[in-house]
Structure 1
Amino acid sequence: MEIREFAERVLLSDSLEEKLKAAPETLTDEQPGKPLRIKEPGRPANLQFAPPRTAPGMPKPSALVEQDKRALAHHIMANHELQALEVMAYILCAFPDAPTEFRQGMCKIMADEQRHTRMHKERASVLGLEFGSLPVNCYIWKKALSYESVLDYLAGLPLTFEGRNLDHAQEFEQYFLDAGDQRSAALMKVVYRDEIQHVAFGLHWLRKLKPDHLSDWDAYEQHLHWPVRAALSVGDTFNREGRKQTGMTDEFIEQLYQAAQTDLPPNQKPKNLE
């Protein structure tokens, strides 16, 4: 199968089963096709993006002692993972001239996103909530429409949205443990390990594709599109060790932390974890 065929199936299909179907072990990139941009991905009727501010928000940590709130959390995270998958497919279609090595690496990351979506979907179901039975938002997807280059994508999704998940995945692991939900906590541990690799992939390609005269930090900041900014790559806690494991320099990590300290209101400043 061609990478383009796999990407179009994920991006355009209105069947969740088709979107989450694993790609063949070998994907070729001999026919990357012409650039393709669309306003919204194909989705089944029950997963169409809801109007702004109509999808339910993430429950507060203290509410996760309730089973229905944990189910809601998994429902929301399943949609986050699905959006990330769709954005990756979109990038493969929108920038067919990107290096084949990058495109093949993206397909491996997409396999993780498919798996994460299924994991959250299945866990929500066990907890009593079928995926698609509640409205879902389009925040990650809408932000991707501003990407004008692969570098924009790398700054926006791997280094900001997935970078934030280096904090969130550990936070939710602990929230679920506090609620006595060992299975949900174990799921978040798997997601966390994968996110380290995803952020590392983004950092690797930022370094390969950026102009030589730009530092990692300058390239990152220059390719963010407002309102997405460096401070949004940080959760309620700041996981330095996880970021070190991605290959970020100590200087880059400190710049992220300081961006959050400077840019976020006092009640949103992250706690510093060593």
Structure 2
Amino acid sequence: MEIRAFAEQVLLSPDIETKLLSRSAEVWTDEQPGPELRVTEPTRTPQLQFAPRRTAPGMPSPGALQSPEKRAIAHHIMANHELQALEVMAWTLLAFPHAPYEFRRGMVAVMADEQRHTRMHIERAAKLGLVFGSLPVNCYIWKKAMSFTSVLDYVAGLPLVFEGANLDHSLELADAFSAAGDERSAALMRVIHRDEIEHVRFGLEWLRKLKPEGLSDWEAFDRHLHWPLRPTKARGDVFQREARLQAGFTPEFVDHLEIAIDEPSDDARTPG
């Protein structure tokens, strides 16, 4: 299957079943990457259209997850997060068709995980009584990705910020689900945590391959973030240092990330 055709399937098909259709058995080719294509929004069913700002529910607090209804809402929100990440990856393949084949093929493998994660959250929400699309969904990840102007912007922004932060958030939620007695949801989050280590590793490897000579990993990462994305967005409340070392970061990079504070540079104050 052509990589472009898969990206179009994910990004331009409205129904969720087609977006999440597994292609893991395919033989992948990239002979027709096609012209650059940048769409302003993914094609979705009416029930999953991005909602106006602040109308989608926020993530329930850890204590609120004692309620099955709140746990269902949490899974609904995370299903949309995973779906947005999948769609951003498809957007990236279409927006930057001349990126190295090895990068594009690696993206396809990561996208298979994102499809699986989305299905897992949808199925868990349904078990808890909530059908995916029953609640408004936000567009936070998608909107931030629309500032990406290069593959380096993508690897700094999505794998190293959003998926990097999920190294922390996934285990925070696993602990909260366990505290609520929901070990199935906790196990789901631990599976996602392990996958995120590999996704972050993929982003870091390509940051190193594509960054200008002479820049450190940290300098390249920081320079390719578009405000409001910034290093502090790449971590949660409980910092998982060992997971980041497993993903391949140097101890120095992890130190920088752990102590980073919100002091935007002059050019970062202007939204990208």
String of CA shifts for 1:52-105, please: whole Å, max 9, x gaps: 110000000000000000000000000000000000000000000000000000
Letter in 2 for 1:91: T
SS of 1:131's equivalent in the other structure is: coil
Q: d(CA) in 1 for partners of 2:66 and 2:177?
A: 8
Residue 4 of structure 1: aligned partner: 4
Residue 263 of structure 1: aligned partner: 262
Q: d(CA) in 2 for partners of 1:119 and 1:244?
A: 27
Q: d(CA) in 1 for partners of 2:248 and 2:199?
A: 11
Shift of 1:245: 0.4
Q: d(CA) in 1 for partners of 2:235 and 2:152?
A: 20
Shift of 1:147: 0.2
Residue 215 of structure 1: aligned partner: 216
SS of 2:239's equivalent in the other structure is: strand
String of CA shifts for 1:137-159, please: whole Å, max 9, x gaps: 00000011100000000000000
Residue 16 of structure 2: aligned partner: 16
Shift of 1:212: 1.4
Letter in 1 for 2:5: E
SS of 2:86's equivalent in the other structure is: helix
In the alignment, structure 1 residue 50 sits paired with structure 2 residue 51: yes
Q: d(CA) in 1 for partners of 2:142 and 2:29?
A: 26
Runs of 4+ more than 2 Å apart: none
Letter in 2 for 1:16: I
Letter in 2 for 1:177: S
Letter in 1 for 2:81: H
Letter in 2 for 1:139: Y
String of CA shifts for 1:243-269, please: whole Å, max 9, x gaps: 00000000000000111xx329xxxxx
Shift of 1:120: 0.1
Specify every segment of 5 or more residues in structure 1 that has no aligned partner in the other structure, as ranges: 265-274
Q: d(CA) in 2 for partners of 1:94 and 1:106?
A: 13
Letter in 1 for 2:198: Q
Q: d(CA) in 2 for partners of 1:237 and 1:25?
A: 39
1:63-102 counterparts in 2 under 5 A? 63-102=64-103
SS of 1:237's equivalent in the other structure is: coil
Shift of 1:22: 1.1
1:1-274 counterparts in 2 under 5 A? 1-23=1-23, 24-259=25-260, 262-263=261-262
Shift of 1:12: 0.5
Q: d(CA) in 2 for partners of 1:82 and 1:9?
A: 13
Q: Normalising by structure 2, what TM-score?
A: 0.95
Q: d(CA) in 2 for partners of 1:207 and 1:47?
A: 36
Shift of 1:44: 0.9
Letter in 1 for 2:9: R
Q: d(CA) in 2 for partners of 1:228 and 1:101?
A: 26
Letter in 2 for 1:200: R
Q: d(CA) in 1 for partners of 2:27 and 2:186?
A: 33
Q: d(CA) in 1 for partners of 2:235 and 2:32?
A: 38
Specify every segment of 5 or more residues in structure 2 that has no aligned partner in the other structure, as ranges: 264-272
Q: Sequence identity of aligned pairs in percent?
A: 66
Letter in 2 for 1:60: S
Q: d(CA) in 2 for partners of 1:219 and 1:82?
A: 27
String of CA shifts for 1:215-244, please: whole Å, max 9, x gaps: 000000000000110000010111000000
Letter in 2 for 1:263: D
Q: d(CA) in 2 for partners of 1:167 and 1:212?
A: 31
Shift of 1:26: 1.2
Letter in 2 for 1:42: T
TM-align CA RMSD: 0.8
